Amino acid sequence: MKRKIEKIRNIGFIAHIDAGKTTTTERVLFYSGRTHRLGEVDEGTTITDWMPQEKERGITITSASTYCMWRDYQINIIDTPGHVDFTAEVERSLKVLDGAIVILCAEGGVEPQSETVWRQANRYNVSRLVFINKMDKIGADFMGVVEQMRKKLAANPLVMQLPIYKDEDFMGVIDLLKEKAVFYHDDLGKKIVFEEIPPEYKEEAKKYRNILIEKLAEYDDTIIERFVNNQPLPEAKLIDSVRKQVIQNNLVPVFCGSSLKNRGIQLLLDAICRYLPSPLDIGEVEGFSAQEEVIRRKIDVDSPFCALCFKVMVDPYVGRLNYTRIYSGRIRAGEEIYNSTKEETERVSKIVCMHANRQEIIKEAVCGDIVCLVGLKSTTTGDTLCLKGDDIILERMHFPEPVISQAIEPHSKKDQEKLSYGLSKLAEEDPTFKVSYNKETGQTLVSGMGKLHLEVAIDRLIREFKVEAKIGRPQVAYRETITKRVTSRGKFIQQTGGHGQYGDVVFMLQPMEEDGIKFESKIKGGAIPKEFIPAIKEGVMEASKNGPLGGFPVTKVEVTLIDGSFHEVDSSELSFNMAAAMAFSDGVRRAFPVLLEPVMKLEVIVPEEYFSQVLADLHAKKANILSIEPKDNVRLIKANIALREVFDYANILRNITQGRGTYVMEPAFYDKVADEIAHKILEI
């Protein structure tokens, strides 16, 4: 059967941890007939949480891809993690999705990680619906959460449903478009009945339907005309209007239910098909040529093939699986394609649709599809795939730098090879998991986004790659930078029997605000031939990996090549590479270098009775308290705090609050380490 692209929906579930993403995904798969039993997170029986580490912890660690059919629509789904340590999984998923369902807890409301994923969705201009889950919980406050959306997310919510309660039990919802009440007459939520709105809810339903129409009228003149002239507003007209505003990101429709109690999911599926965009609604995909000229590719089966690899997984039986979003054209198994990012030709041996960790082989994939390509050797996360001759490079994804490191070494020599192989495969899969070697200590270091991130990676090494290794204590990923502008010269001269080596560069080094190293050449008059400039830049980048204070990477430095000289015979790329490294290292050493440390954004929710103890502990850790907000019977403390102070904060907070306090933490920025602390770190 030929699929219609307008009937495809590429969507993701995104939310704060424990808001119910995976449980909602399970219900979507069940009601659509994709699965025939309901999996539960607490029992470790869900489809999308298939990794042993996910089953044991009851959390999503890696984004899982699956699909289902609802009515005559194909819904490609990505279930993403909620824990901040795995935020890169959300980032790369949103990059390739057309729409997202943001799940909010009816009791917890807009929680810290909810704000993070909302900002990520803003960055990629992803259309959204909101599903307020857990309406059955004591303390659920539907309108309170809607108000939080306005205040905390700067969203423009469009209330589409109202909850119905009877004796504090969540019974169903009011559909404001249909002007009907929706009740569920069985525990599995399969028997849905549309009835008249209960008398006690009629006034409220009328009020919020009018608000809905008024909001649509702000963007749609035909609706305001009909509304003012008291003409009927057909449901189909309202659906079209809502869809248009969702695609333009003007409005965010809000629905409610309880995934655990099997309430509200079928209506959510209808909403996904009605309101979220198809690949065709995105219009065109924008990329660049090798000369950085803008190229726009129409989303059409007959356009030249163009796709983005957004994730790599290593399957023990199949090998590398390249998760790929196809934007234009089509691809068949056995065909050759071109990796325009790496300028290499690849062959697709097999195409598979994923159902979590299960694979379904297909012969062909077309624009709008999210599939896995098997057989690619060089393609990694963020690479563009196209046809040679129709080159295009899509915008790459940007991932945060790791903030925590741990030493790891094999138990014995026979484990060394397995360790190296396992680490390389994990780094291949996860752009925020880095492996490095410290020459001074002789240690292999693994770096990640947090303690849990590294715990999971090391657990996978032991289980999947059968590595026996010794693990060091977690360490902060410090950086070094400069505080003064300097000019520095590097000369590399070597005389031998034959050709010698001659490289001479002059740099101006100065501090800058952004992370990283910025290199610019201002050479005029041919003091250094252009062909040596890339080697000079490479020398700078290599030298920046080890700073003069403690061997930590150097960052926030702008390097300008302002002068130098060369020898007609003896100059080479190697000589200029070495000269650049010498000039950079010498310049950093003389530019009053300082140590930088990662500062975390910390948000703590603590019951009133433990508030003073938690606040005192944060003050003792020299946290910068940004705000304290009352929230029902708890306080929300927002603070910036050095990562070195909160390695074991989970246990500390648990002990202070007897397990009743919760927190989330994410990297905020790098800041100068106090002198007395720097002395201790560097053991001066």
pLDDT in tens, 173-210: 999 999 999 998 888 888 899 999 999 999 999 999 99
pLDDT value at 569 more than 90:
no
pLDDT tens track for 621-635:
999 999 998 876 788
pLDDT value at 412 more than 90:
no
Residue 168: which pLDDT band, with cuts at 50, 70 and 90?
confident
Q: 557-565 and 501-511 as β-strands: parallel, antiparallel, unpaired?
A: antiparallel
H-helix segments, 403-560: 413-429, 451-464, 533-543
Contact 267, 173 (CB under 8 A): yes
User: How far, rounded to the nearest angstrom, does the alpha carbon of residue 548 sit from its chain's CA centroid?
Assistant: 33
Amino acid at 70: W
CA 586 to CA 490: how far, in whole Å?
8
Higher pLDDT pick, 309 / 404: 309
For the segment 353-372, the average pLDDT, to the nearest whole number, is 87
For the segment 312-341, the average pLDDT, to the nearest whole number, is 89
Residue 1's pLDDT is 36
Exposure string over 138-169, b if 16+ CB within 10 A, otherwise e:
eebbbeebbebbeeebebebbbbbbbbeeeee
Residue 500's pLDDT is 83
What are the DSSP calls for 137-202, one per residue?
A: STT--HHHHHHHHHHHH---EEE-EEEEEETTEEEEEEETTTTEEEEE-STTS--EEEEPPPGGGH
Q: Mean pLDDT over all residues of the chain?
A: 87
- Phi and psi at 580, nearest 5°, equal -65, -45
- The SS3 of residue 260 is coil
Residue 475's pLDDT is 75
- Phi and psi at 311, nearest 5°, equal -165, 145
CA 128 to CA 48: how far, in whole Å?
21
CA 64 to CA 60: how far, in whole Å?
9
Amino acid at 395: E
User: Please, is 12 exposed, middle or buried when counting C-beta atoms within 10 Å of its C-beta (0-12, 13-18, 19+)?
Assistant: buried
pLDDT tens track for 221-262:
888 888 778 888 889 999 999 999 999 999 999 999 999 999
From 448, 348, 352, 356, select the one nearest 408 (Cα to Cα): 448
Residue 90's pLDDT is 80
Residue 51's pLDDT is 55
Q: 21-30, 205-214, 490-499, 598-607: lowest mean pLDDT where?
A: 490-499
CA 328 to CA 394: how far, in whole Å?
12
**CA distances to 60, 61, 195, 619 from 257, in Å:** 21, 25, 17, 41
Q: Hey, what long-range contacts does 313-320 have (CB within 8 A, 24 or more apart)? A: 313/62, 313/372, 313/429, 314/425, 314/428, 314/429, 315/359, 316/464, 318/350, 318/359, 318/374, 319/374, 319/375, 320/374, 320/376, 320/377, 320/428
User: Which residue has tokens 């790791």?
Assistant: 402
From 656, 639, 636, select the one nearest 108 (Cα to Cα): 636
Contact 165, 199 (CB under 8 A): no
H or E stretch covering 603: strand 594-607
Q: 127-133 and 99-105 as β-strands: parallel, antiparallel, unpaired?
A: parallel
Residue 99's pLDDT is 95
Q: Name residues whose C-beta falls within 8 Å of residue 192's C-beta, 6 or more positions apart in sequence.
A: 182, 183, 184, 266
pLDDT tens track for 3-31:
688 999 999 988 887 888 888 988 999 99
Residue 446's pLDDT is 86
| Helix%, strand%, coil% for the chain, nearest 5 | 30, 35, 35
pLDDT value at 439 more than 70:
no
Q: How many CA atoms lie within 13 A of 319 on its CB side?
A: 10
CA 91 to CA 328: how far, in whole Å?
22
From 194, 195, 201, 187, select the one nearest 263 (Cα to Cα): 187
Q: Which of 106-110, 266-270, 571-575 has the highest mean pLDDT?
A: 266-270
Residue 496: which pLDDT band, with cuts at 50, 70 and 90?
low
